[in-house]
Amino acid sequence: MDESHMVSAPNRLRLLGTVELTLDGAPVALGQSRLEELVALLALRPGTPLKRAEIAYHFWPDSSERQARTNVRNLLHKLKKGWPGLEATLAIGHGDVTWRHDATLTVDVQEFVRAAEHAEQRDLPAERALLLAGAVDCYAGDFLPACFADWALAEREQLRTRYGELLEALIDALLERRELEEALRRARQLCDHDPLHEAAYRRLMQIHALRGDRAAALRTYHACASILRKELGVEPSPATQQLHAQLLRHESTPAPETPQPVQRPRLVGRHAEWQQLQKAWSGAQGGAAQVILIWGEAGIGKTRLAEEMLDWVGRQGHGCASARSYAARGALAYAPVAEWLRAARVRPVLERVDDLWRVELARLLPELVQDRPDLPPPGPLTENWQQQRFFQAVAEGVKATARPLLLHLDDMQWSDEETLHLLHFLLHGARRHPLLLIGTIRTEDAGTNAPLAELAAALRHAGQLTEMTLGPLSRDETVALAEQTAGATLAAERAAALYTASEGHPLFLVETVQGGLEDVLVQTGPGSLAGSSSPMSGVSHIPPKIYNLIAARLAQLSPPAQQVASTAAVIGREFTYAVLAAALSVDELVLVDALDELWERRLVREQAGDSYDFSHDRIREVAYLQTSRARRRLLHRAVAGAIETLHADDLDAVAGQLAAHYAQAGDDARAFRYYRQAANLALAQHALADVERMLEAALAHAPDDPAVHLELRHALNLTFRYTLRLSDWHANLDQQRTVLAAYPAPQPSLELEVALDHCEYFRGIGAGEDAIHTATRAVEWANALDDDEARAAAYLQLAESHWSVSHMVDAERYFDRSAKLAHRAGAKLLEATSLELQVQTGMFSGMSSGTIAGRLQRAFTLAEQVGDYHRMASLLNKFGYLPMSAGMGGLATAEVDYRRGLALAHAGGDRGMEEMILANLGVLYTYRGDYRQALDSLDAALSIGAETAGYWRYWVALHYKGKCLLHMGRLDEASAVLATAVEKLGQIGNHHFEVMARCDLGLLHHLTGNQEQAGVELALVRELAGQHDDQRYRAWANTRLGYVLEAQGDVAGARKHYARGHELHARMGQQFYALNALAGTARLAVQGGDSATALTHAGTIWETLAGQEPDATVETARTLYTCYAILRAAGDPRASAVVEAAFDQLRARAATIDDPEHVDRFWRLDDHRLTAQAFAETTGR
């Protein structure tokens, strides 16, 4: 029975590895851990009635019988309520509950037990192996993993034991059939299942030996010995040790014996720090993500303390994973994150994440899609929104792991910028997730890592950070550590000498005692200097005393082991056996013996897979520095060749390493090639710091070809643009110009590329006129190339440059030209982008609604054809905005478009687009009078906007919230919010949105009776909107100035502004908005005694609005009340219908306000109060 059967069943219950109920293919949340326990308890006993009294005692042993029975009744009631069709699975009687034998629900634990029984009854090897494999594959993890009740622990252990026995039987069956590769896989599975099962390691060693891979067998022994010492304090049994010796000597297999206990290494000292770690872990378990940063100099014990915490957490069954950052050039971005995701307690759960996230995670773990040909490979990360989607995928992977989770990142001072940004995203998004991150940082190396300092500052501000700095051990602690390391009690004189010489530094002490080098340590003494001939002189800041200690230990090695140590040091702190073997021209037996010697002397340690690691980076540094410069060059070339051979199928993944090795080997051509390749990979991952680093290195090794240098500097501009490093950007552009000037004749294609780069820069610094001038020159170069796609790109830059200085008419014209050229060139995405930006301009400058809709549809079709989901979501956002800007109803359709765009943005991890659409949804709900949903959407948008400091859209969303509060009648709150939004938008120079916010602020001043200030604000809106060719807000400003002047008694001025507002709105097809100005004109006609004109206008208003969906705003209420008052004065029977429609809209709006005080403020607005009074007078209600 394989797991595919379980996955495909429409009705299934998973209890192994997780708890998940699926009915008719859809997940059903039981909602309570006790409900999950009850379902699991019944599922384990299909067909066996369970008495209600048994259930009561099971869950509430300390409650009275009556109370316990009541609890059972309530529990079953909740189960029935949350589980549709429960009767098909459970028979709930008066006195008992039974899991039906004929239940159609597939239960994984039942499948596992049945499959195990079936397999155990078969004798034929082939059939038995097949059935055992099926049974093993049914077991997806521990039973009911989040439950720690005694009964669940017993069942869990019983099932774990049975699973282990099945694995052992399967391995035996496979070996009997000589299926060594599958037996190897299953043996590894058994070791992962029970890391302390020594016989499993012996079996794995034997399988490696049968395959002829003696080196892998020895690595397995090293792994076994390491974990037994760490977890149980014992050495491997004589049987395992003799098997190890046999593999070295090719002798026969001895019989197993009992393991002998030895003293278990323990953590010495650090009591206060341990309490801090415990406190942080307790907080994380409570659902508050925490970070501990452990600072200290190299060798002070940071990693040892963190590893003790990892062991402690892991022994309790919680999830944990460890990773390390490296200082070596060429390291991949996000490498520590990939290491976490590959950890034994993390990797299996990634199989259960959604396919969208699975594809994104394949950037770090390509194997996730290797067996899924139905999934596309991940595309490049060239945009910020794509990086956000990738970050979200990592967050989803972390959330899918065991809860709670401990992550450890060693040598965090060397973490790349992208990894640190991802951690910030993860920790911010997981604030309520039970997660603890422990980072260790070398104080002396952390000063140059600005992103690390920024992360620490952000975590401090968020209250998520605890920091500790480790100092030397005390005298007593030093002696205790020395005695533990030596395995014997030290004489007082020797202990005192060790403390005086080591000054309590753990690494000094351990290296000294392990190497028997007390004399070296004492002779150098505190603060003494190495001789001037030291190979570290001028190269490394390793303290002389520790350098001499490590050098003395390395000198004790045999010549082959010294050669292996030198080569491994060149590879890097972490190295694999395969690379080592390929780089060294030595016999395998010599290599294995040498590596075993390094391991026995604790200079290297075994890591996951076939990897080894130096026990401390200082050891690697000394081994590297003791190798002559000439030999290092040869070794770097040999290592590069080995890596090329071993990774020939995927050189992208190791391009950075290859580039660094070839650079050290003096091979500029290969170094350049691989640095360029590594830069392309980093760009695909949106790892901009790595892109810059690789491109700068590529420039240092590039051939003397101006075109190559221009290409590299063009790519560098992208990193400076995204990171807003304007001075570096400017300097790089100057370098481009210098290179370009070296050509004897103009190069149109290169001139165009450089000009377009300059346009981006000028717009970035707000130099719009310079951008226009440069873009105009770019158009000339594009014309010289006679290439329509180049012309389209140049005109797009010219249009965006005009947009940046609010030249709406010019911007719209050039966007149109760019779109047409892109269409002719078949550049679909370029055409879609041009059309969308043209429409965006048209929304400000008065483009008709029909034209806008047609161009949006064309752009959407193009974006859909090329599969650009970011562009599709952006266009759906504009589809939603169109009905609102037109003021002609259709808000239900707009909501559908917004929701489609929001779904695409969310699926793509495009947080910026999510924020924009949520904010626009907030406006839509405000216009529809649904304030509950409006505030929810706006608060969600503000929350996303707050994730990025200085994000300008945050202030736009804040304006929209002020608009909502205004129409709710919460004028004091709205005033403060709108004033802040106006100020901030003005400060950052975003005048388009400043105009919008200022226009609402003017309306608010009018509603509060401050007509003078309202007039000032709205006159400024009119002026700014005119400068920007913003016809929409010229129309709004004129209408609202009409309100102000009408209130001040300036009839002539009010009439002029109403007429202008009506004209502008009508010209843009905004008939509903035009009615607000027409209503103002009608009121003025009543004041002037022209009742006939007033009645005509009132009739037009009602004919337009009757049965329609006008905006549910203060201004609509005023317009409807004006219409009612004029019709009533004329005795027109339509008056009652008008006031009923107006009151119904107000009543529906008020129903979405939860706070009674806020409801009272809503009805106190003059236009609302008058409408309510008129309704009461008309209807008698």
Q: What mean pLDDT is predicted for residues 954-970?
A: 95
Cα separation, 678 vs 720, in Å, equals 18
- For 441, left (φ over 0), alpha (ψ -120 to 50), or beta? beta
Q: 926, 963 in Cβ contact below 8 A?
A: yes
Worst-scoring range by mean pLDDT, 681-690, 1036-1045, 1076-1085? 681-690
- Sequence-ordered alpha helix ranges (H) in 946-1050: 953-968, 971-987, 991-1007, 1011-1027, 1031-1047
Q: Position of tokens 């899918």?
A: 400
For residues 797-807, average pLDDT: 83
Residue 8 confidence class, pLDDT cut points 50, 70, 90: very low
**What is the mean pLDDT of the segment spanning 98-126?**
81
In 1048-1090, which ranges are continuous DSSP H helix? 1051-1067, 1071-1087
Q: What is the mean pLDDT of residues 771-781?
A: 92
Report the mean per-residue pLDDT for the chain. 83
Return the pLDDT at 2: 40
How far is the CA of 296 from the CAs of 32, 402, 618, 931, in angstroms? Answer: 44, 31, 15, 53
pLDDT tens for 24-76 read 777 887 767 788 888 888 888 888 888 888 888 777 777 777 777 888 888 88
Give the CATH number of domain 1076-1181; options: 2.160.20, 1.20.1740, 1.25.40, 1.10.3470. Answer: 1.25.40
User: Angle at CA 246, nearest 5°, toward 242 and 249?
Assistant: 140
Measured CA to CA, the distance from residue 320 to residue 916 in angstroms comes to 37
We find that the CATH architecture of domain 275-380+412-471 is 3-Layer(aba) Sandwich (3.40)
User: SS3 string of 218-254?
Assistant: HHHHHHHHHHHHHHHCECCCHHHHHHHHHHHHCCCCC
Q: Which of 510-519, 726-735, 919-928 has the lowest mean pLDDT?
A: 510-519
pLDDT at residue 1042 greater than cutoff 90 = yes
Residue 1014 · residue 1002 · CB < 8 Å: yes
Give residue 642's identity as a one-letter amino acid code. Answer: A
Ordered strands of the 106-107 beta sheet: 26-28, 20-23, 12-14, 106-107
For 417-466, what is each residue's pLDDT tens digit? Answer: 888 888 988 888 767 788 899 999 987 677 778 888 888 888 888 888 88
User: 459: how many CB neighbours lie within 10 A of its CB?
Assistant: 22
Burial of 1129 (0-12, 13-18, 19+ CB in 10 A): middle
Please report the pLDDT score of residue 1010 as a whole number: 95
Distance CA 1019, CA 285 (A): 57
Instruction: Give residue-wise pLDDT tens across range 658-698.
Output: 999 999 999 999 999 999 998 888 877 767 778 888 999 99
Whether 230 and 246 have beta carbons less than 8 Å apart is answered as: no
- Which H helix or E strand runs over 334? none
The average pLDDT across 914-934 equals 93
Q: What is the tens place of the pLDDT at every residue in 1006-1033?
A: 999 999 999 999 999 999 888 777 888 9
Average pLDDT over every residue of 192-207: 86
434 phi/psi in degrees, rounded to 5: -70, 85
Q: Identify the pLDDT of residue 1013.
A: 96
pLDDT at position 817 is: 95
- Mean pLDDT calculated for residue range 477-493: 77
**Which pLDDT score, from 0 to 100, does residue 131 have?**
85
Question: Taking residues 795-810, what's their average pLDDT?
Answer: 84
| Average confidence (pLDDT) over 1125-1129 | 96
User: For residue 534, is pLDDT > 60?
Assistant: no
pTM for this model (two decimals) = 0.55
Q: Which residue has the higher pLDDT, 487 or 143?
A: 143
Strand pairing class (319-324; 90-92):
unpaired
Q: Tell me, what's the pLDDT at 1? A: 38
Tell me: pLDDT of 1125 over 70. Answer: yes
Q: Cα–Cα distance between 224 and 606 in angstroms, integer?
A: 10
Range list for CATH 3.40.50 in the chain: 275-380+412-471
Strand partners, 28: 21
Q: What is the pLDDT of residue 910?
A: 67
DSSP string, 18-66: S-EEEETTEEE----HHHHHHHHHHHTSTT--EEHHHHHHHH-TTS-HH
Give the model's confidence band at 383: pLDDT under 50 very low, under 70 low, under 90 confident, else very high.
low
Dihedral, 881, 882, 886, 889 alpha carbons, nearest 10: -80
d(CA 552, CA 516): 10
Residue 529 has pLDDT above 50, yes or no: no
What is the Cα–Cα distance from 951 to 960, expressed in whole angstroms? 15
Q: What is the pLDDT of residues 590-612, one digit of tens each?
A: 888 888 888 887 788 887 667 88
Residue 713 near residue 750, CB atoms below 8 Å: no
Q: How are beta strands 465-469 and 290-296 bridged, if at all?
A: parallel
Specify the pLDDT at position 748: 85
Residue, of 1162 and 707, whose pLDDT is higher:
1162
More confident residue, 124 or 363: 363
Residue ranges, comma separated, of all CATH 1.25.40 domains in the chain are: 1076-1181
pLDDT at 967: 96
Least confident of 205-214, 655-664, 748-757: 205-214
Q: Where in the chain is the domain with CATH 1.10.10.10?
A: 1-194
CB 571 within 8 A of CB 619: no
List, for residues 867-880, the tens digit of each pLDDT value. 777 788 889 998 88
Highest mean pLDDT: which range of 174-178, 347-351, 648-652: 648-652
* Cβ(1143)–Cβ(1136) below 8 Å: no
pLDDT greater at residue 879 or residue 616: 879
- 214-239 as b/e, with b when 16 or more CB fall inside 10 Å? bbbbbbbbbbbbebbbeeeebebbbb
Please give the pLDDT value at position 126: 63
According to the model, what pLDDT value does residue 501 have?
Answer: 65
pLDDT of the residue at 564: 92
Residue 526 confidence (pLDDT) above 70: no
What count of other Cβ atoms lies within 10 Å of the Cβ of residue 57?
15
Distance of alpha carbon 805 from alpha carbon 772, whole angstroms: 9
Residues 6+ apart with CB under 8 A from 1012: none
Handedness of CA 338, 344, 345, 349 (dihedral sign): positive
The CATH fold of domain 1-194: Arc Repressor Mutant, subunit A (1.10.10)
Q: What pLDDT is stored for residue 125 in this prediction?
A: 58
Whether pLDDT at 102 is above 90: no
Phi, psi angle pair for 239, to nearest 5°: -60, -45
Least confident of 345-349, 624-628, 964-968, 1145-1149: 345-349
